[in-house]
Structure 1
């Protein structure tokens, strides 16, 4: 049963993000002192859960890490810049161009993930626009709320450590009995039909991750689509289905958790 936590709006669109089911994930978190998210992404679970005494968030995508560092360290500058940014084809066209200015690059990253047709970081999918039959201001109205939503999240980052390192290295470093790992890696390549992420993981990298998680001294909650690799590697772990199965391009996908202990 999900905890009665306030459901946050998705302040950042991101492949595989867990905004709609964050409470259901958090319901399976046990007692801990250290909290580690090695595959941070949009941070949906982190921003929904109550703070832990020590928290470390990590992502191998430098654009993600830069965004959350700017949100933590330069909150008002970033949010003011976004408030002055229109829903614009021209803004989207330059959103993947790196300038070297961390604040401007963070602004452009938010534009890219919001103003694209789909939450796909592997490639540009085109600017999202609507025809005359649909409500004209629907998307720009939603966009206008994003700066305030990001601003409301900034406080959660104040005490968090933010890393940009290989996930397995971070997990090995924090192998302790009182460290809870919530791992939400990119979906296995064989359970989806296309690339989605700026930083993908091979099947071999998933195997390495599973070995690290099995050896972790503390509790682990791992999320992903149901698959034979995880089921075999984590035999004996508790499994929970989070959503009813859905069909994507003819294939059935079931969102699950694998939980230790």
Structure 2
């Protein structure tokens, strides 16, 4: 099966816009591991590898992909029957806030609806809509229409973990392993990114510094990252991109790709 699928969800912090930079930098490998999956834009767009591991400590994410893998038909039926609706967005929020009251299937549906209909792909955020155009409804309709069987097929041979990212990295590290690493940005209070500290980030960089395999890290420039890159001889590329902050304002941000092999 060929790669180049588009991630089935729109997730805050996703790397869809960076794919043109990331995909050409992926080296040859036998095992592919994404320890901070999120929306998985890179995983879905790349060609399948002999061994693949996707992981996220957020059980809402891994539940969505597990249901995609095991009960795709039922999930697709629910998604296709869901309109662009504030009521559906609220119902999805309840299912995620009170998971014990809902089935895995219903929670997977809820995660999809929250990421698709929430502003900026954020969970528990405002319901996204527009007044001057029908762009939001059209985008949701198109995304819903593209929720196709190939997503299940792509996941058939994939290992899905819900574990500490560092443990997953250590357990899959070989000379033929490649890790695409897109951690939460430390000290961010933004929605589902809250709680990731600079100590967590340092622990990740320590693990990356000791790898047998190769890694490509997506991050923002910081003093701690510059220090590790210099001390370990890592390679770095910088990219400027536009970010929508609100409905009306846009700002520029700098992202970096860092690797332990030439890029």
TM-score for the superposition, normalised by structure 2: 0.87
Matched, 1:117 2:114: no
CA change 1:245–1:108 in 2 (3 A) is closer
**What is the CA distance between 1:130 and its match in structure 2?**
2.0
Aligned to 1:180: 178
Deviations 1:126-146 (A, max 9, x none): 211222x323xx322322232
Q: Measured at CA, do residues 198 and 65 of structure 1 come closer, stay the same or move farther in structure 2, by a change above 3 Å?
A: farther
For 1:184-233, what per-residue CA distance to the aligned partner results, in whole angstroms no more than 9, with x for missing partners? 011222xx6x4232564111101101101111111110011122111111
How far the C-alpha of 1:253 sits from its partner, in A, is 2.4
The residue that corresponds to 1:154 in the other structure is 152
SS of the equivalent of 2:114 reads: helix
Q: Secondary structure at the match of 2:76?
A: helix
Root-mean-square deviation over aligned CA pairs: 2.2
Give the 3 Å change call, closer, same or farther, for CA 6–23 of structure 1 in structure 2.
farther
Post-superposition offset of 1:117: 1.8
**Mapping 1:1-261, distance limit 5 Å:** 9=6, 11-97=8-94, 98=99, 99-121=101-123, 124-131=124-131, 133-135=132-134, 138-151=135-148, 152-189=150-187, 194-197=189-192, 200-235=195-230, 236-241=233-238, 243-244=239-240, 246=242, 253-261=253-261
Q: Which runs of 5+ in 2 are unaligned?
A: none
- Taking a change above 3 Å as real, the CA distance of residues 149 and 37 of structure 1, as seen in their structure-2 partners, is same
5+ unaligned residues in a row in structure 1: which ranges? none
Q: TM-score, normalised by structure 1?
A: 0.87
CA–CA separation in structure 2 for the residues paired with 1:199 and 1:227 = 18
- Aligned partners of 1:219 and 1:105: how far apart in 2? 35
Shift of 1:255: 1.1
1:162-193 superposed Cα distances (whole Å, 9 cap, x missing partner)? 0000000111111211110110011222xx6x
Q: Could you list the per-position Cα deviations for residues 77-129 of structure 1 after superposition, in whole angstroms to 9, with x for gaps in the alignment?
A: 111110011111111112122233000100011111111122223xx222112
Q: Give the conservation status (yes or no) of the 8 Å contact 1:186–1:201.
A: yes
Q: Contact 1:79–1:148 at 8 Å: present in 2 too?
A: no
- Measure the CA separation in 1 of the matches of 2:228 and 2:252: 21
Equivalent-residue separation in structure 1 for 2:35 and 2:202 (angstroms): 15
- For the residues of structure 2 that align with 1:82 and 1:195, how far apart are their CA atoms? 27
SS in structure 2 of the partner of residue 95 of structure 1: helix
3-state SS, counterpart of residue 15 of structure 1: coil
Structure 1 or 2: more helix by fraction: 2
